Structure 1
Amino acid sequence: MLRTLSILLLAGVALQAQAKVDSAQAARLGQDLTPLGGERAGNLAGSIPSWQGGLAQPPASYQPGMHHPDPYAGDAPLYQVNSQNLGQYQAQLPAGLRVLLEQNPDYYLRIYPTRRSAAAPQRIYDATRFNALNGELISNGNGVAGVAAGVPFPLPENGQQAIWNHIMRYRGEQISMLTNQAAVLSNGAYNLLKLERDVYFLYGREGVSPQDLDNTLFYYKYKVVAPSKLSGSALVVQETLDQVLAIRKAWRFNRGERRVRRLPMLAYDSLQPDSNGMATADQVDVYNGAPDRYQWQLIGKQEKLVPYNSYAVHQKGIPYDSILQRNTVNPALLRYELHRVWVVEAELRKGFGHPYAKRRFYLDEDSWQILAVDLYDKNGELTGLQESHPISYYEVPMFGSTLETIYDFKGGRYFVDGLDNNESMYDFSAPLNPRDFTPQALRRAGN
């Protein structure tokens, strides 16, 4: 749940000047704005309620280690959106979601009442208020300084600040998890790849100061558990904050070679292994890594139908072949709601290559989790859709995706990551430390 050239100097100076807000604006956080910068009030139509603190405590039925019980299980769908009534709702849909519905007449969206469930610890709210006054973009917008926890730019003034809010959002202090991913081909065939994953977050950790970060966001490691022919291969990543200043460090242990190799590049458009060419390195966690290859524009805030409170597809025991249908994920297990989202567009800079020459991101105003991405090729054609299906991990509390998908419209296929229905649930108190994320530890993990 995980990743040159410089930009014009004058553009960097402009971003620096816009980095901080005045005390009057910062004082709005926790007042008419939520502590992370969303609008506290609902919308005029009443279809989006006010934020009342989110799910900051587990429901009474929750026990540690459980797949999270759905606190909204009693909700009934308000309506469905499909290819037949698409015109009625198309203004509220990300462009990629409209294409997905058009291409798949049997696919549909179940639209539920809007539940603003996103929440974070109070110390994250306090840090975010501090960040509004002290956080700033550095390295021409490719790094952030003056912050150690919380959302760095709760009152964003440009697209780079908004995307950094997603990259640096709170996801707990450490996570140990067992998940599966699959590339579902146009004929419906797929193979599961089971990964044992550990993440140790330095940014956002209690007691850490900006000086303690030493240009490090987090440490990440995975080990392949299945299939048996790949079992034992492993990867470790040390994620830098400013990846133009210092690229992320990554090492891979190949079971066949029985040795650890330093990877020269694991970023940008390099392909994720075992994704059938559908997922680039910077699509892990929807978007990660240095923003230097794109020009970023903050379009503004809009009301969109997006994945939210996806507890149904998260529940324990669901067979994976019930989730992974031909062409799409099973729509009967998905939940969509109307939410206000920040819309950010990224256009590829001249001189760089990437399968996606333009991306349009939809970021949740209450958590800064990216919920959907429209994916365009170099000819300006909409070729894909990326989605994250989030829940509130209310025992932390933290709001994040339980399932991520990438749809390839031209190939009629899709990639899924995060399948955990038949695995043990995430452990947010796993005994991890930075020594677990070294080349030496990688060799031990591979044995």
Structure 2
Amino acid sequence: MKFNKTLLATGVLTVSMFATGAHAAVSAADAAKLGDTLTPIGAEMAGNGNEIPAWDGGLQTIPAGYKNDGIYLDPFADEEPLFIINQGNVNEHAERLSPGQIAMINKYPDYVIPVYPTHRTSAYPDNIEQETVANATSVELVQGGNGLANYQNATPFPVPQNGLEVIWNHITRYRGGSVQRNVAQVTPQENGAYSPVKFQDELTWRASLTDYDPNEDANVLFYFKQAITAPARLAGNVLLVHETIDQVSEPRRAWLYNAGQRRVRRAPQVAYDGPGTASDGMRTSDNFDMYNGAPDRYDWELVGKKEMYIPYNSYRLVDRSLSYDDLVKPGHINQDYTRYELHRVWHVRATLKSGQRHIYAQRDLYIDEDTWQASVIDHYDGRGELWRVAEAHNMYFYDRDVPWYAIETLYDLLSGRYLANGLTNEESNPYQFGVDRASRDYTPAALRRAGTR
């Protein structure tokens, strides 16, 4: 069965029928829109006439005083909110919010959404833009939609035809090639009490390895290593992941090094709704990075495109003058330090397939058109009740042309608890891009070397 090549903004395209074979890439005529009416990675170039500006190449000026040290300064520090959405006016703005955002506002009087002027800051390196254009006419979905053929190291579907292609754009989006970061994760109790868990993360795309061989590990998208550095009871434990492109024919390869046992073992539970690392049950493995992993357990619908208030240009959340105590509050992070802007998002709905198992029966994902980053995700339980609300506080790493997250949050509406991951305010050397890593750094044997107390 073929899909209609014309995507209507209000249409719904369901992806559940890639039984065999490949799904064709777009035509040369559609690809020619990139760099013309579409940005090089597929967003609408034009604005909406008043609130969303046209894309003009991304942030034009790096803030004065930035020292190229991974301590990012706010280019918009002098701006004030245009208005603040709260319990008193939420109904006026409901069309531009997700049901989960509305539920958070209604649950917590101090959960507010400060809306600022929109800035389309994101851009990409030239080679990523060029490879994206090439992908448009060559990349295909294969293996039931759970793998990619002819993929290069960039956005695979800049002119998406269905929901699954949008999800692949999120999964494969550019995050700097090779990066190391030192971050903290918190899972506060209802009263706000918390103990941070600290990680040193490494993320290296296969093509960014110093000994890259296009014929080696061809089904690997990237390598990920996560070492816990604090607290002492967990320090030294290390997770290693080889993220495969087709995770159905070749499941994600994962290993854990337990510092107490001095033992490396396979970790098949690091997938789907397996427990997230040191998350106190507050997230699943596939909640990390908002959504990750094999898409085979869900049917995916492309509901359409909409304008929505999403966290954006969230530089205040990495301000070094703030402590974790300033940010971590009961029920949710301190919304006084957040920033939301009006952007266009792709709305994709994931519905659990018959016969499949997952604690989330439905997920509604709102994915920013300029970055392909999932920015808000509403999660529903098996009864169809709204359960958890995820928000990614986007920011642009302007010295590296990398759109990514300042922090991710995942709020549990039932328990009143939440998880926030990616905090850097109290960490030294929070981000290092362009780190040299070879394939030997991502072998199970390397875990013992990384796992020291």
TM bucket, shorter chain: over 0.9
Matched, 1:41 2:46: yes
CA distance in 2, matches of 1:297, 1:57: 38
Q: Judge conservation of contact 1:223–1:233 (CA < 8 Å) in 2.
A: yes
Matched, 1:133 2:141: no
The one of 140, 161, 166 aligned to 2:165: 161
TM superposition shift of 1:10: 8.7
The one of 342, 353, 359 aligned to 1:355: 359
Moved more, 251-260 or 411-420: 251-260
CA distance in 1, matches of 2:404, 2:156: 17
Deviations 1:234-288 (A, max 9, x none): 1111111110011111111111111111113310010113212110001111111
TM superposition shift of 1:353: 1.7
Moved more, 93-102 or 190-199: 190-199
Q: Secondary structure at the match of 1:140?
A: coil
Q: TM-score, normalised by structure 1?
A: 0.94
Matched, 1:433 2:410: no
Match for 2:42: what amino acid?
G
The one of 80, 83, 86 aligned to 2:84: 80
The one of 415, 431, 451 aligned to 1:446: 451
Q: Which residue of 2 aligns with 1:26?
A: 31
Q: Secondary structure at the match of 2:445?
A: helix
Q: Judge conservation of contact 1:193–1:227 (CA < 8 Å) in 2.
A: yes
Match for 2:172: what amino acid?
M
Q: Judge conservation of contact 1:169–1:369 (CA < 8 Å) in 2.
A: yes
CA distance in 1, matches of 2:344, 2:133: 21
CA distance in 1, matches of 2:398, 2:211: 22
Match for 1:217: what amino acid?
L
Match for 2:27: what amino acid?
D
Deviations 1:130-167 (A, max 9, x none): 11100100101000111122110011111110000000
Moved more, 196-205 or 158-167: 196-205
Flag the 1:14–1:307 CA change in 2: closer, same or farther, 3 A: farther
CA distance in 2, matches of 1:119, 1:375: 30
TM superposition shift of 1:55: 2.3
TM superposition shift of 1:207: 11
Q: Judge conservation of contact 1:182–1:190 (CA < 8 Å) in 2.
A: yes
Moved more, 54-63 or 259-268: 54-63
Deviations 1:157-191 (A, max 9, x none): 11110000000110011111110001112121211
Q: Judge conservation of contact 2:121–2:396 (CA < 8 Å) in 1.
A: yes
Superposition RMSD in Å: 1.9
Flag the 1:195–1:413 CA change in 2: closer, same or farther, 3 A: same
CA distance in 2, matches of 1:68, 1:283: 26
CA distance in 2, matches of 1:84, 1:210: 57
Q: Judge conservation of contact 1:309–1:389 (CA < 8 Å) in 2.
A: yes
Q: Which residue of 1 aligns with 2:240?
A: 236
Q: Judge conservation of contact 2:21–2:143 (CA < 8 Å) in 1.
A: no
Q: How does 1:24-423 map to 2 (within 5 A)?
A: 24-44=29-49, 46-55=50-59, 58-202=62-206, 214-423=218-427
Is there any run of 5+ residues in structure 1 with no aligned partner, and where?
1-8
Q: Secondary structure at the match of 1:128?
A: helix
Match for 2:352: what amino acid?
L
Match for 1:23: what amino acid?
A
Q: Secondary structure at the match of 1:84?
A: coil
Q: Which residue of 1 aligns with 2:6?
A: none
CA distance in 1, matches of 2:368, 2:425: 25
Flag the 1:24–1:209 CA change in 2: closer, same or farther, 3 A: farther
TM superposition shift of 1:204: 7.3
Flag the 1:95–1:245 CA change in 2: closer, same or farther, 3 A: same
TM superposition shift of 1:223: 1.3
CA distance in 1, matches of 2:176, 2:239: 21
Q: Which residue of 1 aligns with 2:17?
A: 11
Is there any run of 5+ residues in structure 2 with no aligned partner, and where?
1-14
Q: Judge conservation of contact 1:148–1:213 (CA < 8 Å) in 2.
A: no
Q: Which residue of 2 aligns with 1:3?
A: none
Deviations 1:68-123 (A, max 9, x none): 11111122110000011111001100110000000001221110000001111111
Q: Secondary structure at the match of 1:373?
A: strand
Deviations 1:388-428 (A, max 9, x none): 00111011111011100000000011001001111122000
Q: Secondary structure at the match of 2:39?
A: coil
Match for 1:85: what amino acid?
N
TM superposition shift of 1:14: 8.3
TM superposition shift of 1:314: 1.1
CA distance in 2, matches of 1:364, 1:225: 32
Q: TM-score, normalised by structure 2?
A: 0.93
Moved more, 60-69 or 406-415: 60-69
Q: Judge conservation of contact 1:168–1:203 (CA < 8 Å) in 2.
A: no
Deviations 1:199-226 (A, max 9, x none): 1112578997975661001111111111
Flag the 1:414–1:223 CA change in 2: closer, same or farther, 3 A: same
Q: Which runs of 4+ in 1 moved over 2 A?
A: 13-17, 55-61, 203-213
Q: Percent identity?
A: 42
Flag the 1:337–1:209 CA change in 2: closer, same or farther, 3 A: farther
Q: In the comparison of the two structures, how many residue pairs are matched?
A: 437
TM superposition shift of 1:15: 8.1
CA distance in 1, matches of 2:93, 2:357: 35
Flag the 1:209–1:255 CA change in 2: closer, same or farther, 3 A: closer
